[in-house]
Structure 1
């Protein structure tokens, strides 16, 4: 197996400590409030001094502990700044997402263009999405020294609407080879590292939903996903080419950690670097959080009719 792939993981973390928007994780009991446009953290047991974070520097907030109290004033300010707030259940897994009602000044006009998108356009956009996803999967495996001729062929032959189901064919090969495990199947309730993937994808989904709302789009109206019980169909569409970046982080954990069967604080901290990963888009590097916003903006241009291409990051 190639040793170079792990170096990419550390290169992609370049922006973690100096990113444009921060991801805040609260795993202990705390009282969260606001003062002077700052997020104020007061610890319930008084063991630590109150801390403050400029709200404008925050992109994502994760509330894990069941004894966290947050004021409505802070929630209003977080929503006003289009910050995604993720709540977790008693099993410490993401279960809720707070997004602003109005994400763009032209909300109604933009939603109209989205709702009026033709079926041929949606099929073409889904073709682009699947192609980008398979290409990024191929680059990740190739960097690990794994043969990817099959994936490269599938990426080149995706048809409009992916009527050949190239995405599923690629996934079958991809999940058989990405982890150095004798048997692995990707399943929501499957064996580890499915637990890591679930957590990482939940963070990614929140980042994508936040960007969609900021672009004035409806997260529930998908390009291809159309489950009537899913409020984030479009987010699930757009996050597809970004999934390999989550897989990169999880792969690094699998190959460097002895015990990843349970999500501990250390593992969550590593997964929470996902919004800060340095990705390449049209030859330029930027944090994943910023790249997603460029993707959703390009998607609206496709709905508007001024462009025919969604801009996705390139792993290679």
Structure 2
């Protein structure tokens, strides 16, 4: 594909990030608009001034939400061992000092994908599917961070000096099990490689509805609400994150459905999906 500078500039003017992926379908470069919000300067200053205790409390809530999502998915699949995850989610402390995120992952992947599975960002097959889905979610969170007037390089937990989107990597964590659910269903139906139809299913995942404080919002809007609530937390000095509830078993089944958009919205399948 050939890009012109004009195309990149026009997309930036409209607040659109461009994510470039490598051969393993993980992001290797991203362009973001420099002016993502009318109050960006003040919000970035609040972000810079956020205390370490506040960042640790924010991370505790994110990790707890991620583990709760993992347990909810396992329970919806009827997998023995899912009952441990709500207890682990409740035990997460400030800054996740006990590293319960990693402890949960060590239980989660063998239960969901089988004892022989190993998460490898550079591998092909199942891992490539996961990488692509995570790239979609990461780009969604990066867009939300820019729209909220926050600086994507200033994470609350991720802090690699070479990571320009550390904050997006923080916020994407609770969304990851949605990708896991879709990949799990793909494997059950025999899909192990990426093609245009499979990529379309990942793209449509951001339209899946989530419940936040009694209201229903698509994943894309849930990411925006989470980023705005993070900005608000930086401003007031208290953790007030708008995190979504785990889906019900019926909703988890919809996440993995081949015709996700039709099941979620009642609309007929598109010509691209039928192709």
Normalising by the smaller structure, the TM-score range is 0.7 to 0.9
Selected match of 1:266 from 197, 200, 218: 197
Distance of aligned partners of 1:74 and 1:309 in 2 relative to their CA distance in 1, 3 Å threshold: same
**Which string of whole-angstrom CA distances, capped at 9 and with x for unpartnered residues, describes residues 252-273 of structure 1?**
11111x241x322222121122
TM-score by length of 2: 0.84
Question: Which structure is richer in relative contact order (CA contacts within 8 A, separation 6 or more)?
Answer: 2
Q: How many residues get paired?
A: 246
Structure-2 change in CA distance of 1:90 and 1:165 (3 Å): closer
Alpha-carbon distance in 2 for matches of 1:127, 1:108 = 27
Q: 1:111 aligns with which of 22, 25, 44?
A: 44
The alignment's C-alpha RMSD in Å is: 1.7
**Residues 1-316 of structure 1: matches in 2 within 5 Å?**
68-89=1-22, 94-146=27-79, 147-179=81-113, 181-190=114-123, 192-256=125-189, 258-260=190-192, 262-305=193-236, 307-316=238-247
CA change 1:306–1:94 in 2 (3 A) is closer
Matched position secondary structure for 2:160: coil
SS at match of 2:242: coil
Measure, in 2, the Cα distance between the counterparts of 1:312 and 1:185. Answer: 28
**Structure 2: distance between partners of 1:315 and 1:245:** 10
Question: Which runs of no fewer than 5 residues in structure 2 stay unpaired?
Answer: 248-275
Structure with higher Rg: it is 1
Cα pair distance change 1:89/1:243, threshold 3 Å: closer
- What TM-score, normalized by structure 1, do the two folds share? 0.74
